[in-house]
Amino acid sequence: MPETIPPPFLEERRQAILGRIQMTGRVAVAELSAMFGVSEVTIRADLQALAEQNLLVRTHGGAVPAVNGINEMALFLRRERQVIEKSRIGTTAAGFVADGDALYLDSSSTSLAIAHHLRPRRHVTVVTNSLEVTRVLYDAAGVELVMLGGALQRTTASLVGGYGLANLEAFNLEKGFFGAHGISLEAGLTDVSTDEAAVKRPLAARCRQVFAVLDATKWGRIGVASFAALSQITTVITDTAAPAHLVAAVKALEIDVILV
């Protein structure tokens, strides 16, 4: 199946090798040799050069992705990727973002999915405390990115603690997207981490429109820390498996509920 169209430049070829190894999880020397129409020796030189940069790990007949301890962060992020791109909730939420908007993305996996969809956008300002969101948008030229400061919470790759919130008033945020551990009539939006909640609480208060993005399993659950009352929410984006009676109760409060 390998195509035989040869990208002649060395850089291109190596880039393509990296792409393929990420995609398929492994590459073979013979396969690449046929694919690019160069000798196996050349491919070996490529693999060696890439291995020296820790971009992959050599094996006998080929190479596998770099699974190095040095780069825990990248690993952590990569693992999520498949999930991210599949998220329908994220896709829908991204549809609410207009060019020119200033918005907040929290450190949930749905925010990450939204971030992926924002990469091709122009003139969007994103405020976040998530390192993953930052990484996804790092090379998105049309996105201005502002990180809230704070102490690194390694389990969520986010920055927490009030350090970054001092002059939140400097930002006028149109829309905020919040994942949550639970949504309930009693406690509103809740999180399991008090630190995370402490960041989200003032942000939820500050965003003109508050979007709650959560899958069906979150309905009726309550985490230890509330960060927004239902009355603060503008729109809930969830999936069709959400419990009908809870959805109805929320709609009764004049909150938009979008089922995808």
Partner DNA sequence: GTGATAAAATGAAAGAAATCGAAAGTAAAC
Partner DNA sequence: GTTTACTTTCGATTTCTTTCATTTTATCAC
Sites of contact with a second copy (CB under 8 A): 7-12, 15, 18-19, 26, 28, 53-55, 57, 59-62, 64, 67-75, 78-79, 81, 131, 134-135, 138-139, 141, 144-152, 154, 157, 159, 161-164, 166-167, 170
Nearer to DNA, 13 or 218 (CB): 13
185-196 exposure pattern, b = at least 16 Cβ within 10 A, e = fewer: eebbbbbebebb
37 binds, among a second copy, DNA, none (CB under 5 to 8 A by kind): DNA
DSSP string computed for 90-127: HHHHHTTPPTT-EEEE-SSHHHHHHHHHHTT-SSEEEE
| Token pair for 251 | 């709609």
CA angle 213, 137, 65 (to 5 degrees): 100
| Chain CA centroid to CA 121, Å | 15
Nearer to a second copy, 148 or 207 (CB): 148
Chosen residue from 3, 4, 25, 60 binding DNA by CB under 7 A: 60
| Token pair for 84 | 């991210």
- Provide the minimum distance between the beta carbon of 51 and DNA in the complex, in angstroms, as a whole number: 9
26 binds, among a second copy, DNA, none (CB under 5 to 8 A by kind): a second copy
| Rounded-to-integer distance, Cα 210 and Cα 204, Å | 6
Q: Does 10 bind DNA (CB under 7 A)?
A: yes
Q: Does 39 bind DNA (CB under 7 A)?
A: yes
Burial (Cβ within 10 Å: 0-12, 13-18, ≥19) of residue 148: buried
> Considering only 35-43, 155-163, 171-179, 184-192, which stretch makes contact with DNA by CB under 7 A?
35-43
Tokens 């006998």 locate to 60
Nearer to a second copy, 3 or 79 (CB): 79
- Provide the minimum distance between the beta carbon of 39 and DNA in the complex, in angstroms, as a whole number: 3
- Residues at the contact surface with DNA, assessed by CB under 7 A: 10, 13, 28-30, 37-42, 44-46, 48, 58-62
